[in-house]
Amino acid sequence: MLQSELQYLPELAKCRRRGHKLPPRTFTYGITIPRRDGGVPEAMCHGPEKERSSNPDYEFVRDYSALNKAALEAGMVNAKDQSRFRTVQDIKKKVFVRDVSHSKKTRKFDDDMIFGNANRPSTPIAEVLQNRFLNNWLDTMQNKQAALEKERADAANAFKGSYHTKSSLLRQAKIPVEPKPLWKMSKFANGENQVDSFRTETERRRAFSANSYDSIPRQGVYHTGIYNVPRTTVKT
């Protein structure tokens, strides 16, 4: 019970003791690394030659082509008989480990190859202090505005002059074409709207009529801005 901190109240004028007890003096800190080598006896003997003799450059694997041929010669035709024949008979073939078909292909790198992630480019402090990014953005916006104004001026000046007649203006005018309706599935082609902001068609017409009437004193291109109330001065 005394080992649990929740079982007793803190001491008067003392901080609460939190932590674990220290291990004994014989305790060894760190991670245990198991020894997988042979120790001193292996270091005294010829290790590389012994490893090379135990790990040759070739190995014996099962030769399925020879097994299939021997099974056919023995009269095994179906898959069940061939499987039984393979469980009884076994033919090995010598395959070199360094063979391309059995060994992993080593990837070759250039001598000047650099590994790792590319470093992040340093922040151009000089351009930041000179507000060059802001100036470039302002120049870009001014160029766009100038190009737009020039396009509008050219479009306005295209119809000026005595050489234009009504027939030429009508010939140059573009007939408004309704946009192509969006694609709709055939089974929903004749479907009606299930959600509507207005309950009846009369309320819809009243709402649009009130909106058009209220947009007269408003400012803006589409008359959706603030009310344009003329200022009057009262003389006293």
pLDDT of residue 220: 82
- Cβ distance 85 to 71 under 8 Å? yes
DSSP state of 7: G
Cβ burial of 95 (10 Å; 0-12, 13-18, 19+) is middle
Q: List 62's β-bridge partners, or say none.
A: 92
- Cβ distance 219 to 226 under 8 Å? yes
For residue 39, give both structure tokens: 């120790």
Model-level pTM?
A: 0.23
Using one digit for the tens of pLDDT, what is the confidence trace for 38-90? Answer: 777 777 775 555 555 555 677 888 898 999 899 888 888 888 888 889 888 88
Helix H segments across the chain? 40-44, 47-54, 64-73, 79-88, 125-129, 132-157, 166-172, 201-214
Query: What is the residue-level pLDDT of the chain in tens, covering all 236 positions?
Result: 566 666 767 778 777 666 677 889 888 888 877 766 777 777 777 555 555 555 567 788 889 899 989 988 888 888 888 888 988 888 898 887 764 454 455 677 787 787 888 777 777 777 777 788 888 899 999 999 999 999 888 877 766 655 677 787 788 888 888 888 888 888 888 877 777 888 888 999 999 999 888 888 888 888 888 887 665 554 54
Cβ burial of 13 (10 Å; 0-12, 13-18, 19+) is exposed
DSSP letter for each residue of 71-119 = HHHTT--SHHHHHHHHHH---EEEEETT-TTTSPPPPP--TT---SPPP
**Residue 106 to residue 225: CA distance in whole angstroms:** 71
